[in-house]
Amino acid sequence: MSMEKKTIWDLHRDSLDEFRTKEKLPIAVVLDNVRSLNNIGSIFRTSDGFAVDHIALCGISATPPSAEIHKTALGAEDSVAWRYYADTLDAVRALHEDGWTVLALEQVKGSVALNDFRTEPGKKYAIVAGNEIDGVAQAVVDASDDCLEIPQRGTKHSLNVAVSTAIAIWHLFEQEL
C-alpha cells in the first residue's frame, strides 16, 4: 500500500467563495479576552477546517487584519465570519437572543466533562474560550448555559486556549450536528 502524501488537488477543498456560501456547522466560537494573536490565528484556522459558523472576538482579543494572526490562520481569517464585541457579555447576550446555547470551556464546580457532553439535534452551540492566564471571566461563566471541562491527567492545570478550543470543536463536530 502506498502512503504517498495527498496533493492539494486530492483534498478537494472549497474555494474561498464556495466556503463563504456553504452551510456551516451550528457552532460558534467566542474568544473572551484572548491575548495571543497566534492563538487567535490558530482558532481561525481550526474554525475554517470544521466550517464553524462564526467567531466572536471580545475585549482585548485582536481582530484581522493582522500579520500576527495571519501567521497561524494562513488565510482562514478571510474565510471565517467574525464579529468584534468590546464586552464578552454583549456577545453572549446576542448569541442567546439568536437561539444559541452558550458553553463556557472552563474548569468550574459542576462542569460537564467534555467527553460526556452530547449535542441535541437542531440546537446551535457557542463555545466560549478564555484568556490564557485567567480563563473565562466569572461573569461570562455565570451567563453561560453550561460549562464544559476537558479531563486531564498531567501536572498542568490547563491546556493552551487554541488546543482546548480545537478539542471542543472536534467533539461537537464528531457528533454530526
pLDDT for 12 equals: 86
- CA gap 76, 110 in Å, rounded: 35
Pairing mode, if any, of strands 81-85 and 112-113? unpaired
What number of residues does the chain have? 177
Which pLDDT value is given to residue 9?
A: 84
Residue 172: predicted pLDDT = 97
Residue 158 near residue 164, CB atoms below 8 Å: yes
Q: Please name the CATH architecture into which domain 16-174 falls.
A: 3-Layer(aba) Sandwich (3.40)
At 90 the pLDDT is 98
* Contact between 27 and 177 (Cβ < 8 Å): yes
d(CA 44, CA 67): 13
Q: How do the pLDDT tens digits run along the chain, 177 residues long?
A: 789 998 878 888 899 999 999 999 999 999 999 999 999 999 999 999 999 999 999 999 999 999 999 999 999 999 999 999 999 999 999 999 999 999 999 999 999 999 999 999 999 999 999 999 999 999 999 999 999 999 999 999 899 999 999 999 999 999 977
| Residues 125, 28 contacting (CB under 8 angstroms) | yes
